[in-house]
A and B are shown apart, each in its own frame.
Chain A
Amino acid sequence: MNETDRLIEEHIPRLRRYARSLVWERGRADDLVQDTLERAWGRFHLWRRGSDLRAWLFSIMHNIHANDVRANCATPAQQSLDENELDIPVRATQEYGLEVRDMQAALDCLPVEQREILLLVGLEEMRYEEVAKVLNVPVGTVMSRLSRGREHLHQIMAGKAMPELRVMK
Chain B
Amino acid sequence: MSNTTYTLTEADLQAYTDGQLDPLRLAAVEAWLANHRDDTERVATYRQQNATLHALLDPVLNEAIPQRLTRPQRKTWNSFPQLRYAAVAVWLVIGGTLGWFMHGAQEGHSAAAMTLAHQAVLAHAIYTPEVRHPVEVGADQEAHLTAWLSKRLGSPLKVPHLGATGFELVGGRLLPGSNGPAAQFMYQDARGQRLTLYVRTDNGSNQETAFRYAREKNIGVFYWIDGPFGYALSGDLEKPELLRVAQLVYQQLNP
Of the stretches A31-39, A68-76, A159-167, the one at the interface is A31-39
Q: Mark B169-183, 1 if CB is under 8 A from A, else 0.
A: 010000000000000
Query: Across the interface, which residues of A come within 8 angstroms of B63, CB to CB?
Result: 16, 89
Q: Do A16 and B53 have beta carbons less than 8 Å apart?
A: no
Of the stretches B70-78, B110-118, B159-167, the one at the interface is B70-78
Number of interface residues of A (CB under 8 A): 46
Asked if A83 is an interface residue, CB under 8 A from chain B, the answer is: no
Q: Do B59 and A4 have beta carbons less than 8 Å apart?
A: no
Assembled-state Cα–Cα distance A24/B224 (Å): 54
**Known contacts A12-B65, A100-B52, A143-B10: A38-B72 contact under CB 8 Å:** yes
Categorize the interface residue count of chain B. Answer: 35 or more
Query: Across the interface, which residues of A come within 8 angstroms of B49, CB to CB?
Result: 103, 118, 122, 150, 153-154
Q: Do B69 and A33 have beta carbons less than 8 Å apart?
A: yes
Q: Do B192 and A39 have beta carbons less than 8 Å apart?
A: yes
Query: Across the interface, which residues of A come within 8 angstroms of B10, CB to CB?
Result: 143, 147
**Among the listed A9, A34, A41, A104, which residue makes an inter-chain contact with B56, where contact means beta carbons less than 8 Å apart?**
A104
Query: Across the interface, which residues of A come within 8 angstroms of B66, CB to CB?
Result: 30
Asked if A169 is an interface residue, CB under 8 A from chain B, the answer is: no
Closest B residue by C-beta to A41: B131
Chain B contact residues: over half helix, strand or loop, or mixed? helix
Q: Which of B10, B46, B57, B76 has the most CB of A within 10 A?
A: B57
Closest A residue by C-beta to B66: A30
Query: Across the interface, which residues of A come within 8 angstroms of B134, CB to CB?
Result: 45
**Among the listed B20, B46, B68, B76, which residue makes an inter-chain contact with A41, where contact means beta carbons less than 8 Å apart?**
B76
Q: Do B192 and A41 have beta carbons less than 8 Å apart?
A: no
**Among the listed A14, A37, A121, which residue makes an inter-chain contact with B69, where contact means beta carbons less than 8 Å apart?**
A37
Query: Across the interface, which residues of A come within 8 angstroms of B24, CB to CB?
Result: none
Chain A contact residues: over half helix, strand or loop, or mixed? helix
Assembled-state Cα–Cα distance A119/B75 (Å): 30
**Among the listed A89, A103, A143, which residue makes an inter-chain contact with B60, where contact means beta carbons less than 8 Å apart?**
A89
Query: Across the interface, which residues of A come within 8 angstroms of B96, CB to CB?
Result: none
Q: Do A42 and B58 have beta carbons less than 8 Å apart?
A: no
| Nearest chain A CB to B252 CB, angstrom units | 23
Assembled-state Cα–Cα distance A123/B135 (Å): 38
Query: Across the interface, which residues of B come within 8 angstroms of A92, CB to CB?
Result: 55-59
Asked if A13 is an interface residue, CB under 8 A from chain B, the answer is: yes
Asked if B14 is an interface residue, CB under 8 A from chain A, the answer is: yes
Q: Mark B82-96, 1 if CB is under 8 A from A, else 0.
A: 000000000000000
14 further A-B pairs in the complex, CB-CB below 8 A; given A88-B56, A146-B14: A8-B72, A9-B70, A12-B65, A12-B69, A16-B61, A17-B57, A21-B56, A30-B66, A89-B59, A92-B55, A118-B49, A122-B18, A127-B20, A128-B15
Q: Which 3 A-B residue pairs are closest in the complex by CB-CB distance?
A: A89-B59, A122-B50, A37-B72
